[in-house]
Amino acid sequence: MSIGSDNFYTSERVNREAVSFPNQYQMKVAGNLFIPKDLQPEQKAAALVIGHPMGAVKEQAANLYATKMAEAGFVTLSLDLSFWGESEGRTRNMVSPDIYAEDFSAAVDFLRTCAQVDGERIGGIGICGSGGFILSAAKIDSRLKAVATVSMYDMGEATRRGLGGSISNEMRKQMVEEASLQRDVEFRGGETRLTGGCPHEVDENSHPIAKEFYDFYRTPRGEYTPSTTTAACTTHPTLSSNVKFLNFYPFNDLASIAPRPLLFIAGENAHSYEFSEQAYKQAGQPKELLTVPGVGHVDLYDGVNVIPWERLTAFFSANLG
């Protein structure tokens, strides 16, 4: 809390409305639309779609970013990715990177129908895993005119190799075997198993990254229970689907997004810094890697005193007109 954590921040300067819209798979995507109160009815503003960390929901980090950027004059839309939160999709907590990317394009579909949005001035922000998903969307959706990522995770590389290459080929084979056999269980009507995610208990022997995530997801700082039957299991994907990330390569052909600008934001001490650094190297111009000094990965989820709001505002103001 010393960095000003305020995940559930609200603003009297912004109107918020619950919305929903279909993606191309005809699944309902749930979101919150934020409109600056001083935006006149006849005005059309630039807009941003904002995605939450992998396994989280829009109430965790995405709403905060949407509120703050609406205060800066943008119409913003936070969304629950399919299979999570209030969005449709079964089995709950399913991993489907292609559908996650589609949800961002569906959000652009929706924003282009909003009376107070200039449909030619739409960008987006992806937090943590959503950083990879929105880049994946931007590669095939030219309507996303500018993209920023924050504390980005490449969920494909994190699943294939782990942080710093900590997952061996043998461990990966074991992961595939376990998921494959779990498909047999579920096809025969057995119980769905969850995997990974944030622990529900930590102690002095817990890994520092586990403690970092626990401090956000399992304490009043960021804990949130969405209205779904698997609400208590946020951050935990299904075991049988998690291996789909092995086929996810969001940084491939990243240069094809150019000349649309990209901004990669990461904390100096973030355990995920390698992903932003790698994406920056593979992206085309114009691009920027912004390192926030003295902060870690989760600090940029809700640290209102350290998140570079002015830089985000300047980036989108300059590139969305």
Closest C-alpha to 120, from 137, 107, 105, 108: 108
Q: How far apart are alpha carbons 190 and 30 in whole angstroms?
A: 29
Tell me the C-alpha to C-alpha distance, in Å, between residue 203 and each of 199, 214, 215, 236, 305. Answer: 11, 11, 12, 20, 28
What percent of the chain clears pLDDT 90, i.e. is strictly above it? 95
**What integer is the mean pLDDT of 85-103?**
97
**Residue 183: per-residue pLDDT:** 98
DSSP 269-292: T-TTHHHHHHHHHHSPSSEEEEEE
Confidence of residue 228 (pLDDT cuts 50, 70, 90): low
Confidence of residue 233 (pLDDT cuts 50, 70, 90): confident
Where is average pLDDT lowest: 2-6, 19-23, 148-152, 260-264? 2-6
User: What pTM was computed for the model?
Assistant: 0.97
**The pLDDT of residue 246 is above 60:** yes
**What integer is the mean pLDDT of 184-207?**
96
**Residue 2: per-residue pLDDT:** 60
> pLDDT of 39-62, one tens digit each?
999 999 999 999 999 999 999 999
CATH topology of domain 14-164+244-320: Rossmann fold (3.40.50)
Question: What six digits make up the tokens of 51?
Answer: 């995605």
**Residue 64: per-residue pLDDT:** 98
Confidence of residue 4 (pLDDT cuts 50, 70, 90): confident
**The pLDDT of residue 229 is above 60:** no
Closest C-alpha to 132, from 258, 277, 279: 279
